[in-house]
Amino acid sequence: MGEEHAVEALSAGGMLLRLALALLLVAANGFFVAAEFALVGARRTRIDALARAGNRSAKLASSAIQHLDHYISGTQLGITLSSLALGWVGESTIAAMLIQLFDGLPPPFDVLASHTVAIAVAFLLITVMHIVLGELAPKSLALLFPERVSMVTAGPLIVFSRILTPFIVFLNGAANLLLRMFGLRAPTEMERVHRPEEIEMLLTQSYEHGLLREEPVEMIRSVFHL
């Protein structure tokens, strides 16, 4: 009897450990998603201003934005690894928990439930948790507060990317090679800078939303047409 209780306790402990690992992987996925959207959406001028003022987190975020291709690849690698691990750990863990609930069913319903219903429900739960907690919520948070999120996530992302730099360099090289095979190339830093017509469009949008008055907008526009 004591051995049976020990096995049950160990099984329950192992189940809780795997469940905690699944939640940790969801959080990791959310971290990388938030970091990616924050780096892309953060206003570099504001980050650089905070960095010049001595904000250490802003300095890290500024460094990551300056090497955007490398760190975006790092977020993509992190998302892929955490998603694959979540699918492997999470689905089997939740399925095992559900199977225990069906032990009392008479045959053949116990087998049907354990091999069909439990796996299907586990897949659905993991998918919903992954999309809502690991994708949509972090993305929305990063879009709402891009500078703040980029400063929070930059440090851990830089450490992660430096550890996996060989893999990131290899993946970037493979992606660039694939682009060249189709006669394309990755955008350079200069190509990401706003052109005069793009700046005029930004000014117009700011004016339409009440962030700028008409006089300074027209003054800046006149500079582009000298």
| Domain residue limits, the chain | 2-186, 194-226
Quick one: 10 exposed, middle or buried, by C-beta within 10 A (0-12, 13-18, 19+)? exposed
Q: Identify the pLDDT of residue 7.
A: 34
Q: Identify the pLDDT of residue 197.
A: 66
Residue with tokens 């700046």: 199
Quick one: 38 exposed, middle or buried, by C-beta within 10 A (0-12, 13-18, 19+)? buried
| Closest by Cα among 74, 76, 46 to 61 | 46
User: What predicted TM-score, i.e. pTM, was given to this entire model?
Assistant: 0.77
Digits of tens for pLDDT over the chain (226 positions)?
443 343 333 466 777 888 899 999 999 999 999 999 999 999 888 999 999 999 999 999 999 999 999 999 999 999 999 999 998 888 777 777 777 766 666 666 666 666 677 778 888 888 999 999 999 999 999 999 999 999 999 999 999 999 999 999 999 899 889 888 988 876 655 445 556 665 667 667 776 777 667 777 677 667 666 6
Q: Identify the pLDDT of residue 204.
A: 74
**Stated length of the chain:** 226
Q: Identify the pLDDT of residue 152.
A: 97
Q: Identify the pLDDT of residue 97.
A: 75
d(C-alpha 226, C-alpha 68), whole Å: 34
